[in-house]
Each structure stands twice: as C-alpha cells, then as structure tokens.
Chains A and B, each alone.
Chain A
C-alpha cells in the first residue's frame, strides 16, 4: 500500500488545468476553441471537488462532480446551438466580428 496522493498535488493539478483553460478562453478567437477551453475549466473544477471528496472520503465530492457534469452538458448544448446560429448569420466563427452592436 503506497501512501495516499497528497491533496495539495491534486489541487495544484486542478489549478494548472483551470489556468490553461482560462488562457484558452482569453487568447483564442475561434468560438469553438473558447467553448472547448470552458469545458477544460469546468473539468478542472470537477477535479478539485473529487480531490476534496477523496481527501475526506465522502461521497459529496462525486455528487458535486455529477452536477457539474450536468451543467457542462446543458452549457455545451446551448453554446453549440448558438455557434450554429452565429455561423448561419455571420458565416464566421470569429468572436471579434460580434463586437459591434447593431440594431
């Protein structure tokens, strides 16, 4: 029996993944990439919950992960619907094109 994984390392990993997702959201201009980076961030949040749940050996961490999973599924469905609509109207997936408000 090897020692348990230190909780700090799990949280550090979650932080790294979250930061990578944030960098992706801030730097990419293709909206599909932005949505994928959002998925990475949500996934990192779920990882943090799982780490905490395994640290205290409670089931609540996994339950929060299941709820985050539901949220991610709904978010992706709506987001992809919006992307399809955006592509139909503007023929592009560049989010800078949408920066002008027009009546």
Chain B
C-alpha cells in the first residue's frame, strides 16, 4: 500500500505539472483526468473507498466531460483532422500512456489480491452514509440547494442572448 501511494503520488504530481505547462487545451484536459484518477488511487490507499469511487465517477467522469463539451462548443481546435494525424505521429502520447499504464498496473495489483497486502484501515461506505444522513443531513440539503442554484445559473448564463423573448 505504501508503494501504491507513492507511485500514485508521483503520477499525480507529474500529470498536474503537465496540466499547467500544456498549451494544447485538450491535452491538458486528458492530463487532468489522469491526475484525478491518480488521486482516486491515493484515496483508496488511504482507506476511503467511497471517496475514491466518487472521485473517479463524478470528477474524472462528469466534470471533465463538462469541460470537454465546452471546449467543443467553443471550437478552440480548428483543422482537427490534420492535427490529430500530427499528434498520433508525434511523441505526445507516450508520457500520458506511460502514466496511465502505471495506474493500470496498480489496479491489477490490487485486484489480484496479493497475500500480505491487506486492505488499509477502511472507513467504509456504510459509516460515511450513516453519518451523511445522520448528523450531516442539513449539509446534504444545503448541498442540494447549491446544486440547484448552480443548475439554474448555468442554464441562464449559457443561454443565447436574445432568446429571452420566447
């Protein structure tokens, strides 16, 4: 588990550095997804399986897809076909593939269930859920109101100007 933690930490830091030095926006987004997945592995090694799953599903899944849609809507990358070909020919894919391969190796290592590598002290889904809907129920309600406000304001902000009349 120690080894998994440090490997994932190195992957996360390298991927994050790549995010802030990239000039190509889609590349940066892929590196960001990689960084978030590495942090999900770190959550698992720290004994927080629910947080790891949420990180992979909500952060790396939903929020990053939102980013991708907006980048597509803004159409920041023109002439994509030629660019794509140039990227595949270049060496740009080696580093992200390598970092993702490290994460895959960690995943396989955990799934193979090597003896002597017992799971960390886990705070399971049950404990989190019980507290979430026990003492923290007000915070959950506030979070739902926040999400509703975010939904409405995002809809309002992203509307085309001049569509108010309808």
* A residues whose Cβ falls under 8 Å from a Cβ of B: 1-5, 9-10, 13, 16-17, 20-21, 23-24, 27-28, 30, 32-33, 35-37, 39-40, 43, 46-47, 50-51, 53-54, 57-63, 65-67, 69-78, 80-85, 87-88, 93
Contact = CB atoms under 8 A, between A and B. Distances in A.
Interface of B: 1-2, 5-6, 9, 12-13, 16-17, 19-20, 25, 28-29, 32, 35-36, 39, 42-43, 45-48, 50-51, 54-55, 58-59, 62-63, 66-67, 70-71, 73-74, 76, 116-118, 120-121, 123, 127-128, 130-132, 136, 139, 143, 146-147, 149-151, 153-158, 160-161
Nearest to B49: A62
Contacts, number: 184
B42 A13 contact: yes
B153 A93 contact: no
Contacts of A57: 47, 121, 123
Secondary structure class of chain A's binding surface, majority of residues: helix
Contacts of B116: 1
B123 A62 contact: yes
B146 A74 contact: yes
Main secondary structure of the interface of B (DSSP, over half): helix
A66 B132 contact: yes
